[in-house]
Amino acid sequence: MNRTFLFTGGFVATMDDTVGDFADGAVLVDNGVIKAVGPASEFHGVDADVIDAGGGVIMPGMIDTHRHTCAAILPGVGADHSLLQLINNAFVRYFPPMSADDLYVTSLVGALEAIDNGVTTVLDCCEVCKSFEHAHANMQALVDSGIRGFFSYGMNDEQYPGDVAAGAPAHAARLADVARLHDTGTSLMQVAMGLSHPGTVPFEETETEIRFAQRRGMLCCSHTGATKHTVLNNGVRERADRGLMLPGHVYIHCPSLTHREWQLIADTGGKVSIAPETEMQMAMGIPPFRACMDHGVKVSLSTDTVHCGSPDLLSQMRLGLQLQRCLDNEKALDQGIVPTRIELGVRDALIWGTRNGADALGLESQIGTLAPGKTADIVVVKRKRAFVPSSYPLGTTVLHANGGDVDTVMIAGEIRKRDGVLVGIDLDALRDRAKQTFDRLNEEMSKLPPEMSEAELDELLVTTERTARINFARAYLDASSDGRSSWRSDPTV
Ligand SMILES: [Zn+2]
């Protein structure tokens, strides 16, 4: 349907350095494409469906570069969890009882929750691909929600004993299913490769997955260097030594990476997704904003999982920005300097959550900014409970607003939320269905063994790390080295 919309009555934050911002601006959308952006005065009399921002901010749709919609049915269940507690509970208690239909409902809830919070594009990292039906159900939920992005087919195996067969044949069968699903991708929802968590499988499988994605031209992502003081989820050097750090790979979290590993990501055109809230909660390390920027890698943001954190990217912008300001300020204070300026601004945070996200997902030519010719993914944020106008709309958007202030959401020219309400969704029916799933999963979980003790979790960590060291070492199985380090055998030393 050819429809024309005019977003006006607010501050237009294009996030495009050439186009610039407009204090009283307008955005004209025709047939799903941004036709013009400029001062509102230039658009008087235009025949269009007018969307009045009511003094709010008109901005690009937010882009979440790592979200697990498969967690959406149990919000807050991990609010006080450590990483080990969350991972163990997720893979032992929360995910195993999920049927494919449960996962469909869960992911639909998660995707709609994202849209409701102004997220128009998501890299949805599925951790529950325990059958082909599950993977397809999650993909279908994303398609049905109308959100843009990627379904990341999580290749994790051996996580659901008795449900998914382990070993090479099962791995090959799952890859074949990834190919089948990849072929069904649409212009709005594509299929990405979610690597088996590095170190949890023989390195040959990691290599196979990366090469598979490379051959098919698929976006590829992995949780990487997610926790300090452990080899788990790292394997960056091993991937580099095998020529497996491919351009465009999305490395998720990264607080434990060394300078050399950051250089490897930067030099190979890697992308990074930071999840400030989960990283801070779960002792993963300090969210690596400074490391990212210092190595010339663009920061993109993720909500990760509503098992613990907030479902909205505005919160991640706020947490990330204020955390990094605190760290920068403290560095100066430690030197006896009282800072006279703050380096990072709210506009930087908005860029992390919009155009940098588009860059991370390889969609920068289509979305991420409000510029003529781009696809119309647009969000209006109104401060619904404010008593006075904003003195600095970008500031109040990042530092004051929440998902409830997201008034309008357009994805590819389609209105998905208007006047604060999701469009085209029978919300009562969805809530009923979600509650049934919630109740059933809790009933099933009540039959499972109790959660692991701290001692059991610690033992599990030791065992898993041992497996990871063995698996990473397999990257060098065909190496010619005799095992002696070169500086010892160099006679000149
Ligand atoms: Zn994750």
Ligand 1 center to 371 CA (angstroms): 31
Using DSSP, state whether 13 is helix, strand or coil.
coil
Among 206, 188, 186, smallest CA distance to 197 is for: 206
**384: containing domain:** 4-60+374-427
Q: Is 340 inside any structural domain?
A: yes
Is 70 exceeded by the pLDDT of residue 216?
yes
Ligand 1 center to 23 CA (angstroms): 37
Which pLDDT score, from 0 to 100, does residue 162 have?
46
Which pLDDT score, from 0 to 100, does residue 135 have?
94
In whole angstroms, give the CA distance from residue 280 to residue 227.
11
Mean pLDDT for all residues in the chain: 94
Domain termination site, one of 409, 427, 445:
427
pTM: 0.96
Which pLDDT score, from 0 to 100, does residue 169 have?
73
Regarding whether 77 and 56 lie in a shared domain, the answer is no
Residue 117: how many CB atoms within 10 A of its CB?
24
189-218 mean pLDDT: 96
Which pLDDT score, from 0 to 100, does residue 161 have?
47
In whole angstroms, give the CA distance from residue 144 to residue 105.
11
In whole angstroms, give the CA distance from residue 40 to residue 21.
12
Q: Report which secondary-structure segment, H or E, holds 465.
A: helix 454-473
Is 90 exceeded by the pLDDT of residue 315?
yes
Regarding whether 306 and 167 lie in a shared domain, the answer is yes
End-to-end CA separation in angstroms for the chain: 74
Q: Is 487 inside any structural domain?
A: no
Kindly report, residue by residue over 264-311, the tens digit of the pLDDT: 999 999 999 999 999 999 999 999 999 999 999 999 999 999 999 999
Ligand 1 center to 87 CA (angstroms): 10
Model confidence band, residue 163 (pLDDT cutoffs 50, 70, 90): low
Ligand 1 center to 305 CA (angstroms): 7
Ligand 1 center to 68 CA (angstroms): 6
Kindly report, residue by residue over 54-67, the tens digit of the pLDDT: 999 999 999 999 99
Regarding whether 338 and 235 lie in a shared domain, the answer is yes
Query: What crossing angle do the helices spanning 346-353 and 313-334 adopt, rounded to 10°?
Result: 140
Ligand 1 center to 452 CA (angstroms): 21
Kindly report, residue by residue over 221-253, the tens digit of the pLDDT: 999 999 999 999 999 999 999 999 999 999 999
Ligand 1 center to 43 CA (angstroms): 43
Q: Is 485 inside any structural domain?
A: no
Ligand 1 center to 66 CA (angstroms): 6
Which pLDDT score, from 0 to 100, does residue 92 have?
85
Ligand 1 center to 480 CA (angstroms): 36
Q: What is the CATH number of the domain that holds 226?
A: 3.20.20.140
Regarding whether 158 and 9 lie in a shared domain, the answer is no
Ligand 1 center to 38 CA (angstroms): 38
Ligand 1 center to 125 CA (angstroms): 7
Which pLDDT score, from 0 to 100, does residue 171 have?
87
Regarding whether 129 and 53 lie in a shared domain, the answer is no
Regarding whether 219 and 198 lie in a shared domain, the answer is yes
Kindly report, residue by residue over 366-395, the tens digit of the pLDDT: 999 999 999 999 999 998 889 999 999 999
